[in-house]
Every structure is written in structure tokens, then in C-alpha cells.
Amino acid sequence: MSRQEFTISGAKQYHHAGPVRWIASHMLHNKRPLFFWIIYSIGATILLSASRPFIGQAFDEVTRPHPDVSHLARIALIILGLALVGGVCDITARFSAEFLADRMSRDARDELYLNLLGKSQTFHNRQRVGDIMARANDDISLLGQMVNPGLDLILDSTLGLVIPIIFIGFINPQLLIAPLIFTVLYALALRGYTRELDPITTAQRNNFGLLNAGLAETITGIDVVKSTAQEQQEREKYARNARAYRAAYVRNGQIQARYLPPLLLAITLVAAFAHAVFLMSQHVISLGDLVAFMGLMSMLRFPTFISIFSFSLVQLGIAASGRILSIMREETELDENAGGHRGVIKGEIAFEHVTFGYGGEPILRDVSFTASPGQTVAIVGQTGSGKSTLTKLVNRTYDVTAGRVLVDGIDTRDWALESLRSQISTIEQDIFLFSRTIAENIAFSRGQQVSREEIERAAKDAQAHEFIMGFKDGYDTLVGERGVTLSGGQRQRLAIARALVTDPRILILDDSTSAIDSATEDEIQRAIRRLLEGRTTLLITHRLSQIRWADKILVLQQGRVIDQGTHEELLGRCALYRRIFAHYDTVLPDPAAIGE
């Protein structure tokens, strides 16, 4: 099993060796509907085929000089009984197939969602959200359609080919010549059809993913598109992707137009009838046998004509499964280490000769520093110096390339990931809020385990209660997707409230007050001071008033810590530190004046 950041104990395991094996493993996890589907499909086809010889017997009886009416009545009742029981079997088979398809779609969607939750941040950084959504929605829907009606029709058509031929053999083995030749030619034609169709269906799904990804990017960045007047460019890009998607469908239609089995069947029916008439003229078979034989031959129409549709659905389902698997099989860099260390974090952080890069040139080089429990460590440096990257190593968003990051003297890689991350909170400049109520966003990190009183207390401490109550629905106000209905300052105060509810032992503030207006800055500063109390804090900021709070300041340049100390010490000895703040007001407010 591949490494994951998040798993559920007892979750079902499926084969990921290939699309067909993955589909089969999903089907085998639903044995009961699978069994009912196959058994009742076989029963329905046998009963339908069995009625044809009785119809032939009825013809023989009718053509006699003195037909036995009672015998005809018995035959009629038998045919009626076969039809009724066969109908019940058919309904049960169709219900089982639909149940199996829905179960498989549900399980596949759950598996993919769980797999995505377990992927590392590095993996998600490489993905296009629109393409992921196409796989999670459309491709999984195609998986269900592949089972029903796709595989359901293939099973029916296969049974509708094999079982009638068996009944033909019972009438007279000589009648098997035409249907057996047709079966061989049909199988060869079908093999060529599916081979030709396979790359086209794969292209269809890939082109749809590109189309969906481009659309999602445009909608997500609609403010940039409009502000730069690039609507025409985005329209042309969408049109190109749509044309590629359409071209794959046209190619699919061209392949289907050359589908040979219907022509082969027409020739076979003529040859079969001529052969049967010849045998009847030689008194090898009766008129009733001829009628029964042609009735059974007519059953071959269904598998012949439905295969052009059913095999297309199966090919699309296999192509979709391949796209889903390609995501799930991608290796992730981190593992949840469920058996790792668990415990209450005291808050000591130590970087020991840490080097880190995203695969290319290192972003951090030989970084070493310590933070004692309860200390606030400010991190300053020019843009691109690695400040944010450094903080992401503490909660194992990424793992170090070399060196060690220790929390309470234990390497972060030796911690159980859930235990480590649940005690670390990060508030970034770009605050993400879910399209849920304000209360649910504040309580997100603790879910149902937090009371309304705790939510309101955290909001008051974060100076958010007043603006929340200004909304008509208060804490039950729905926040727009990504929090677009709130101002930057409001979003950041909700993020502070969310961190207060979590009560983290380690806090990371990444330029988290950049969007706070000057009118409310003093209130926000008080909220942050309360937030910092008793917590080890890594603080990235350009606000000098906040830097003055720090017990220690790290100065980064091109991924290296070139100096560390207090504000006064660094002003006296670090030229880079002085240059960083040369454009800022050098008159700093006294932290004591802000209050605790």
C-alpha cells in the first residue's frame, strides 16, 4: 500500500495494478448483488430461450390433420409460465445491476476522496483542480454507467448469444454451422472494434479533463480575467479545448459507423434460413424445428446491435478508471506514521542544520535555531528568502531534505502526523474560509466538539464578535466560497478566532495581519497578544510593533539564517535587518502601551 498522510482503519482495500483488476476488486466487494445479477440474468435468458422450442412444438401440433387442443393449451400455459418467471428474473437482474453500479460508484468516490485527503501538499501543488473534479465526478459517473447499462448489456448479450446456440444444438447439431461461424466472425470483429476504440475513449476522457480544468481556472481567476480584459483570450482557449473534445467524439462516431456485426448477422440469418429449409426438405427437421430454430436465431439480434453501445460504455468506463487510478497511484512524499509518538506538545522547536528544496535548488540551507516553549520567534527577510517555507517544515507540510526539525526533542518524522498537526495552528495572509456558516468556520478544527459559547468567546477575543452580530443571521450567516463575502480584515479575525478555539501549543502567523485596516489595528494587536500567550509562536511579519514582541528574531537571506537576536541587537549589528525596514516608520509603538 502506498504512503498516505491520512487513512481510516478497516477501510476496504482494492487492487491498483490496472483498471480491469481495480474494477473487478470493487465488484467482488459487493458479492451479493453481483451474484444475484449473474444468476438471474442467466435464468432469464434460459427461460426466454426455452420458450422457442415450445413454440415450434405448437406449430407441429397445429399443422397436424387433427391437432390436440389440450396439448396446445398445455404448451400455451408453459410458454406463459416461462414468460412470467423469466420476467421476474429479468427485473431482479436489472435491479441487482443498478444496485451494484450505485454501490461501485459510491465506493470508488469514497476511495478517491480518502486517497486525495491522504496526498501530500506537494502532490496537490502539481494538480489542476478542474481536472481532479472531472475525475471525481464525471469519471466516477462513467464507472457506474459502465456497470449499468454497459456490463449489464454485455452480460445479457453474451448469454443471448451462447444460450440460444446451446438450444439450437438440442434441436439438431447440423443447425449449429451458421451460428457458430457467425460467433467466430462476431468475436473477431468485436475485438478489432474495441482495440480501435480504446485510444479514442482515453483521448475523450483526457480532453474532457483539460476542458474542465481550463474552465475551473477561468472561473476561479475571473477577477483577473476581467481586470485585464482577457475575456476573448479565455474564450478562444476554451473553444480550442472544446474542439479537441469534439474531435475525439467525431472519431468515436466514425469507428462506430464501420461496425460490421449487423451486416454479418444479416448474411448469417439468410444462410441459416436456407440451411434449415434444406434440412427440412430432407426430412431431417420438422416445420416446428424450423420455427424454433429461426426464433432462437432472432435472439442473436440483441447482442449484435447492442454491443456497439455497450462496449463503448465499457471502454469509456475503463478509460475513466485508468484516469482515477493514475491519481490514486501517484506516490505521496509523507506518511501519517500512525504508530509514531503521541503526546501533548510543550512547544520546544529546534532546527538542526536543515536544508530543504522542492526538487531543484535548495530554498533553505543549513538552518539552525531553537525556540523554547512559550517563546515568540519573528522571522524576517526579503521576498523569496524562505520564510514561509521554513514554517511549513514544523507541521510536516513538507519534510526536510537534510537535517532535522525537532518538536519537544523528537524529530517531526517520528511523530504521529495527526497528533503533531492537531496541536499546531497556522494563520496565513491568504485566509481560506469554507462555504459554510461563520460558526462552522470558527469551529472547523474541532468540528462538533466545540460549544456555541466557546465559539462566541473566541470571536470576542479575536475582535470579531461585533461585526458578526452586524449580520442578519449572526453566527449562522453563510460565508461565500473562499470567504469572498467578507473583507480581508474580517477573514483574518475569523482565522484568529479559529486558532483560539483550537488552543494550539505551537502557533504560526504568516503575515496574518496584512489586511487589517489602521482603524482596528489596536484591537487586532490585543487579540494577537492574547493568542500568543503561553504558546510557542513563529511570526512572519513586516509590522515593527509585532516584531518588538518577539523574544528572538531570525534574519533570512537566500535561505540562510545570517543573524539572530533581539530587535535592538540586530539594529546595531545587522545591515540587512536595517535595510529591510528602511522603508517603514522607525518610530515603533511601545508594546506595553498596547496592553496584554
| pLDDT digits 0-9 by tens, 148-199 | 988 999 999 889 899 999 999 999 999 999 999 999 998 898 888 888 877 8
pLDDT band (50, 70, 90) for residue 592: very low
Q: Which of 523, 391, 496, 507 is nearest to 433 (CA)?
A: 496
Give the pLDDT confidence score for residue 407 in this predicted structure.
95
The boundaries of every CATH 1.20.1560.10 domain in the chain are 101-328
| HEC sequence for 377-422 | EEEEECCCCCHHHHHHCCCCCCCCCEEEEEECCEEHHHECHHHHHC
The third-level CATH classification (topology) of the domain covering 337-423+510-516+536-596 is: Rossmann fold (3.40.50)
CA separation for the pair 200, 301 (Å, rounded): 26
H or E, element range at 370:
strand 364-371
Give the pLDDT confidence score for residue 596 in this predicted structure.
33
The number of beta carbons lying within 10 Å of the beta carbon of residue 491 is: 22
CA separation for the pair 465, 479 (Å, rounded): 15
Is pLDDT at 406 greater than 70 in this prediction? yes
Average pLDDT of the segment spanning 270-286: 93
pLDDT band (50, 70, 90) for residue 587: very low
Give the pLDDT confidence score for residue 578 in this predicted structure.
84
What mean pLDDT, rounded, does the chain reach? Answer: 85
The boundaries of every CATH 3.40.50.300 domain in the chain are 337-423+510-516+536-596
Is pLDDT at 525 greater than 90 in this prediction? no
Average pLDDT of the segment spanning 52-79: 87
Give the pLDDT confidence score for residue 358 in this predicted structure.
80
Give the pLDDT confidence score for residue 483 in this predicted structure.
63
Contact 429, 514 (CB under 8 A): yes
Give the pLDDT confidence score for residue 593 in this predicted structure.
39
| pLDDT digits 0-9 by tens, 342-365 | 999 999 999 999 999 887 789 999
CA 369 to chain centre: 40
Position 271, amino acid: A
In the chain the first and final C-alpha atoms are separated, in Å, by 51
Grid coordinates belonging to 203: 483521448
| pLDDT digits 0-9 by tens, 188-239 | 988 888 888 778 888 887 888 788 878 877 877 777 777 677 788 888 888 8
Average pLDDT of the segment spanning 268-274: 94
Average pLDDT of the segment spanning 423-434: 83
CA atoms within 13 A on the CB side of 398: 21
Give the pLDDT confidence score for residue 330 in this predicted structure.
81
Give the pLDDT confidence score for residue 591 in this predicted structure.
41
Contact 143, 320 (CB under 8 A): yes
Give the pLDDT confidence score for residue 564 in this predicted structure.
93
Average pLDDT of the segment spanning 21-32: 92
Query: Which residues are within 8 A (CB) of 444 and not within 5 positions of it... i.e. 6 or more apart?
Result: 434, 436, 498
CA separation for the pair 203, 194 (Å, rounded): 14
CA separation for the pair 514, 529 (Å, rounded): 16
| pLDDT digits 0-9 by tens, 78-100 | 999 999 999 999 999 999 999 99
For the domain covering 101-328, report its CATH number.
1.20.1560.10
| pLDDT digits 0-9 by tens, 549-561 | 789 999 999 999 9
Edge-to-edge strand order for the sheet containing 536-540? 424-428, 506-510, 536-540, 376-381, 552-557, 560-565
pLDDT band (50, 70, 90) for residue 333: confident
Average pLDDT of the segment spanning 368-391: 90
Is pLDDT at 524 greater than 70 in this prediction? no
**Length of the chain, in residues:** 596
